[in-house]
Amino acid sequence: MPTSTTADADTSADTTIHLGRLAPTLLHGLWLVAETVVVPAILLFPFVRARHDMIGLLAVLAWRSSCIFARWLRGARVPATVWMAFALFAARTVSSLAVTSVVVYLWQPIILSVLTGGMFVVAAFGTRPLTMRLAHDFVHLPASVTANPRVRHLFRDLTLIYGVVHLASAAVGAWAMRLPPDATVAVHGGLGVACTVVSVGVCVGWGLSKVSRIPGLRVRLGEAPVSSVPRAAVSLAV
């Protein structure tokens, strides 16, 4: 019997989720990780090692500011989440400069990871898991899909995984604060990359494996067929 892609209340029909073009999305994600984690750690490390912490913080602040300014010059839209992340970073850096201590700069992401991880773990046991709410920023999920108990259970697992990874990252980061300053900067830089890669990678892998076992749901790479966009498919915006 041919497979339908309609997303109405008929449970015999399949809903097809098109993931869109993955390569540009992955490249964009890698660039964001490099911009916000890798390059700042590389800039800060030699200055901390040479005991010029404040110069290192100014270099990192200049780098992050230049990235925002470059987007503005190109006329590119700067998402609200990027502005929020930059505002948190600026507050973190300025407060460290004000008290002339790099320790404040290093503790902020640990505290943020604790708050983020705790929020996701608590939300995992709510009526509507947090990752389900966030998913609506990228893909439209019909009510017939979100009402499916197995789909809700999947999002609960994803929310819990994301929260646990961030709590584990915070624990390792707190332990690293006992190391010499230059070693702490190196560990925090690697930890930021690892936390992002592990949380996203595990969630994507776990999610795709679970979705493949849910009757009525199909996942496809690439864009949705033009003829099926109005009603037939759920497309991920990239």
pLDDT given for residue 236 in this prediction: 40
Q: What is the pLDDT of residue 174?
A: 93
Q: If DSSP codes are grouped into helix, strand and coil, which group holds residue 8?
A: coil
CB neighbours of residue 136 within 10 Å: 10
How far is it, in rounded angstroms, from Cα 231 to Cα 136?
17
| Residue burial 143-174, b: 16+ Cβ < 10 Å; e: rest | ebbeebeebbebbbbbbbbbbbbbbbbbebbe
- Residue with the two structure tokens 């990874």: 165
Over residues 182-228, the pLDDT tens digits come to 888 888 888 888 887 888 777 777 777 777 666 666 666 555 555 44
pLDDT value, residue 154: 80
Do 39 and 56 meet the contact criterion of CB atoms below 8 Å apart? no
- Quote the pLDDT of residue 5: 40
pLDDT of residue 235: 39
| pLDDT score of 69 | 87
C-alpha 50/C-alpha 46 separation (Å) is 6
Q: What's the pLDDT at 199? A: 80
Distance from C-alpha of 166 to C-alpha of 192, rounded to nearest angstrom: 10
Residues in the chain where the model's pLDDT stays below 70:
1-22, 25, 79-81, 133-147, 212-238
Contact 234, 140 (CB under 8 A): yes
3-state secondary structure at position 128: coil
- Is 233 within 8 Å of 224 (Cβ atoms)? yes
Separation of CA 132 from chain center? 14
